[in-house]
A and B are shown apart, each in its own frame.
Chain A
Amino acid sequence: MAFDPQRHYPLGTERPDLVRTPGGLTLDQLSLHGEGVTSPELRATPETLRLQAEVAAAAGRAELAANLRRAAELAPLPDATVLAVYTALRPRRSTGEELEGWARQLDEWQAPLTAAFVRDALAVYTERGLLAV
């Protein structure tokens, strides 16, 4: 059945067939002592986050949807990387080249929306003196 973002929410109860853990377990396979159930498995995949973005968009929440699409891009990245990008975006932490470097990296990591987001920041930081000198 095709996913209908206006009807198939909550995913966990309405479309559990569409939900998997990063390792491919279904919700049914998740039990306290289930085989292969480890803490890193208990999180949303990029695909699930994109479905949630569809739900948000269908409810008229374009910005929340955009946030969830960026989240989908960040989900596979290591924690340290995510925190490093966050730090780079803080005021006067990065030079223009450094931010552009992160944007290129994000493009390589299949995170084009986040890359564009960093480039938007770069343009405004340049104008507002928010880059490191």
Chain B
Amino acid sequence: MLIEPLAELGLVAFDGPNDPTPSLVIEDGRVVELDGRRRERWDALDHFIVSEGLDLEVAAEAAGIADEEIARKLVDVAVPRAELVRLARGLTPARLARVITMLDPVELMFAMKKLRARRAPANQAHVTNLKENPALLAADAAEAAARGFAELETTVGVSRYAPLNAMAILIGGQSARSGILTQCAVEERLNLRLAILGLVTYAETLSVYGTEAVFVDGDDTPWSKAFLASAYASRGVKVRFTSGGGSEALMGESEGKSMLYLEARCLSLVRAAGSQGVQNGSISCIALALSVPGGTREVLAENVLAAWLDLEVASGNDAIASHSEIRKTAKLMGQFLPGTDFVTSGYSSMPRYDNMFGGGNYDSDDLDEWLTLQRDWQVDAGIEPLGEAEAIAVRERGARAVQAVFDELGFPPITDEEVRLAATCLDSRDLPDRDRAADVRAADRVLAEEISGLDVARALDKRGFSDAAQAVFDMQRQRVAADYLQTSAIIDADGLVVSAVNDGNHYSGPGTGYRLEGERWQRLQQLPYAIDARLLGAGDPGAPAVEELEVAAAGGAADEVVIAVGPAFGGALGETINGLAHADALAELVEGVRDEGATPRLVRIRRIADVAFIGHDGALLSGSGVAVGIQSKGTTLIHRADLQPLDNLELFGMAPSLTLDSYRQIGRNAAGYALGRPVHPVPTVLDNYARAKLIVRTTLLHAREAAEVVRGAPPVELALTRSRMAV
């Protein structure tokens, strides 16, 4: 739904009429006014941003730089990211919003590319199912890990399931690729307990809002949220906050401010709280942001702002943005092309039916499209291709591993049938129902008995899953060094932590920064459904349909119609683009000519593969001056000797829609022209998709034809060798 902006309800993307004019007044080293508000009137967010996150020295410097100049620096390859990040430390929320609003969509994308914290982009997957079946969770997690996602997030329908769901994706994920980070989105206390047990490694449930009223409605303050972030870090959990335009309007307390301005407040606060990163870009309110003018641009501006503030960015694209596939994908390009730390903050790795995050914007049905888009643009958006057999194998391994752990821990059994179905099913409807009460009791046992990640690793090891055991153990070991608490950290398959610290983004123009090339580009372009072009249109032509005779001479009979075929016709190639045997098509042409009482003569043009010249050369040989020209792929025309080669009497360019009847009719019409009778053009069918569908085959068939060309070779007479009616 599209609406007119309604500023008093916060339904305006940016530049809202009630947004404050940026200001920062410092008296005696103390800030007394922020964005038009005197200290006495500050809310908790103003206080927090000023006391925890504003660098007054940089602020003084920034006061001397015009907005336009800062905006230009954002898109100037000569200005390093580090300089921009430093400058942002002195900018107020209103100023951040005003500067970023100066960038147009392409400039925003460029700034995003430049400001991303980690050198290489990555992606996150969502893994859930409505039955909360652990075998299916593990299988989906395993497949997602094998597809290259750097993080996996699950959640619960029934919150008491959380320990089992966390365990299932931990086991499934690590069984397919070690180093993958996992989380279970649940209430903070429970989440912290799972983290302490080593069953999850990151959290992004820390939501913040741009007005005090909504913040307090969410039962937090900037201080409680920042404290929680420290609490998570103290337990070795990577933390990412969540914010996004439109949430304040949705919750009825926007103070009439624009989405972008309120998000600038959120992000200033997130940085001030010491979070390494944020999940933003409207997130679950995306459809609201997209309902107002400039919404898509606003959402990208949010992402860029976060990156500018030196935060890791998981850039939304997780909740359904629109029913329109075109708008959805157009919006995605803002993050997809420049690349963000996590292009989506949750790609639904299973079918939408099983998505418990409110339906994924992109889901498992869209994987091939995503991979193709990466291939089209030569862009790495964090998902790798996986063949079907390989997918089934990793899925089964994941499900088997969780089955073994359940058995080892005395949890309700996972049957072999569940494992088999988890590996191959479409969604959870294909799986039998489990005894949910018994599963919940097992989940309770995890917390009561403090069954930890270490216990899981040992259970896997005992049951012979030594690789998965080692991978789960390595994740526990990672907690000791806590390297993944740094900005934009992910862990590669060799257990090396890769973050903005040791692999930062230093893009400074063409040839620098992250580029999809080399081995990785080879990997991302080799899609399981890409076809070897050499296998297309080069099938066995079978026995020749024609026999070549002597060199053709000009005919004398006035009723003669030449049928001129291309160099490969009925020889190197055996059928037209839509599978008609050359022998049959030719026979129909011959018979059509005869139907009207003219005399057909077959010749092969060898000097050229172009249909216009094939036809015209034929016409020059024809006693009547009329000829049919036909290429091997089936493209046909009727020509006459007195016309220019590129002119014709009738052209049948849509070879894929020609039938044997069409060829018969073409033969009749050619005869009609030769005998001087009135002719009705052959009706043709138009298929506007034929070109898109068949252009590759067309190219390959034409290449085959062109390969048979013998420069300067004279045409030769032909006889049909294999047909119902030999000439």
Contact B274 A59, beta carbon cutoff 8 Å: no
Contact B227 A117, beta carbon cutoff 8 Å: yes
Residue in B closest to A32 when the chains form the complex, CB atoms? B473
Residue in B closest to A21 when the chains form the complex, CB atoms? B480
Name the one of A44, A67, A85, A90 contacting B482, with C-beta atoms under 8 angstroms: A44
Pairs of residues from A and B, 8 with the lowest C-beta to C-beta distance, nearest first: A67-B274, A12-B481, A71-B233, A39-B452, A121-B223, A74-B234, A89-B224, A70-B230
Residue in A closest to B309 when the chains form the complex, CB atoms? A63
Of B165-173, B190-198, B338-346, the segment with at least 4 beta carbons within 8 Å of chain A is: B190-198
Contact B273 A63, beta carbon cutoff 8 Å: yes
B617 contacts A by Cβ under 8 Å: no
Range of interface residues on chain B? 35 or more
Contact B233 A49, beta carbon cutoff 8 Å: yes
Residue in B closest to A79 when the chains form the complex, CB atoms? B196
Q: Which A positions have Cβ atoms within 8 angstroms of B?
A: 9-13, 16, 19-21, 27, 30-33, 37-39, 41-44, 48-49, 52, 55-56, 59-68, 70-75, 77, 79, 82-83, 85-86, 89-91, 114, 117-118, 120-121, 124-125, 127-128, 130
Name the one of A32, A73, A83 contacting B458, with C-beta atoms under 8 angstroms: A32
Residue in B closest to A121 when the chains form the complex, CB atoms? B223
Contact B273 A67, beta carbon cutoff 8 Å: yes
Taking A32-B458, A90-B220 as contacts, is the C-beta distance between A9 and B486 under 8 angstroms? yes
A7 CA / B60 CA spacing, docked (Å): 31
Chain B positions 478 through 519: 1 when the CB is less than 8 Å from some CB of chain A, otherwise 0: 111111011100000000110111100000000000000000
Q: List 8 A-B contacts (CB under 8 A).
A: A19-B480, A38-B454, A43-B196, A62-B55, A77-B234, A79-B235, A86-B231, A118-B223
Contacts of A66 in B (CB 8 A): 52, 274
Contact B480 A44, beta carbon cutoff 8 Å: yes
Closest Cβ–Cβ distance, residue B115 to chain A (whole Å):
14
Contact B487 A64, beta carbon cutoff 8 Å: yes
Name the one of A44, A59, A91 contacting B220, with C-beta atoms under 8 angstroms: A91
Residue in B closest to A120 when the chains form the complex, CB atoms? B51
Taking A42-B476, A68-B233 as contacts, is the C-beta distance between A86 and B51 under 8 angstroms? no
B176 contacts A by Cβ under 8 Å: no
Contact B221 A64, beta carbon cutoff 8 Å: no
Contacts of B104 in A (CB 8 A): none
Chain A contact residues: helix, strand, loop or mixed: helix
Closest Cβ–Cβ distance, residue B720 to chain A (whole Å):
75
Contacts of A31 in B (CB 8 A): 473
A43 CA / B458 CA spacing, docked (Å): 17
Chain B positions 187 through 230: 1 when the CB is less than 8 Å from some CB of chain A, otherwise 0: 01100110011100000000000001000100111011011111
Q: Which B positions have Cβ atoms within 8 angstroms of A?
A: 43-44, 47-48, 51-53, 55, 82, 85-86, 188-189, 192-193, 196-198, 212, 216, 219-221, 223-224, 226-236, 271-276, 310, 450, 452-455, 457-458, 461, 469-470, 473, 476-483, 485-487, 496-497, 499-502
A90 CA / B85 CA spacing, docked (Å): 31
Contact A67 B229, beta carbon cutoff 8 Å: yes
Contact B479 A10, beta carbon cutoff 8 Å: no
Contact A60 B310, beta carbon cutoff 8 Å: yes
Closest Cβ–Cβ distance, residue B224 to chain A (whole Å):
4
Contact A63 B43, beta carbon cutoff 8 Å: no
**Centre residue among B52, B461, B470 by max chain A CB count within 10 A:** B52
Taking A27-B477, A68-B485, A86-B228 as contacts, is the C-beta distance between A128 and B497 under 8 angstroms? no
A75 CA / B235 CA spacing, docked (Å): 7
A22 CA / B323 CA spacing, docked (Å): 52
Contact B483 A10, beta carbon cutoff 8 Å: yes
Taking A42-B477, A56-B486, A91-B220 as contacts, is the C-beta distance between A63 and B230 under 8 angstroms? no
Contacts of A85 in B (CB 8 A): 227, 231
Contact A30 B477, beta carbon cutoff 8 Å: yes
Closest Cβ–Cβ distance, residue A129 to chain B (whole Å):
10
Name the one of B192, B197, B485 contacting A52, with C-beta atoms under 8 angstroms: B485
Closest Cβ–Cβ distance, residue B485 to chain A (whole Å):
6
A90 CA / B228 CA spacing, docked (Å): 10
Contact A11 B230, beta carbon cutoff 8 Å: no
Residue in A closest to B502 when the chains form the complex, CB atoms? A9
Contact B501 A55, beta carbon cutoff 8 Å: yes
A10 CA / B478 CA spacing, docked (Å): 11
Taking A32-B473, A56-B486, A85-B227 as contacts, is the C-beta distance between A43 and B219 under 8 angstroms? no
Name the one of A27, A37, A82 contacting B481, with C-beta atoms under 8 angstroms: A27
Taking A49-B482, A121-B221, A124-B223 as contacts, is the C-beta distance between A10 and B497 under 8 angstroms? yes
Contact B274 A43, beta carbon cutoff 8 Å: no
Contact A124 B230, beta carbon cutoff 8 Å: no
Contact B223 A27, beta carbon cutoff 8 Å: no
Closest Cβ–Cβ distance, residue B456 to chain A (whole Å):
10
A114 CA / B482 CA spacing, docked (Å): 20
A114 CA / B450 CA spacing, docked (Å): 28
Contact A65 B486, beta carbon cutoff 8 Å: no
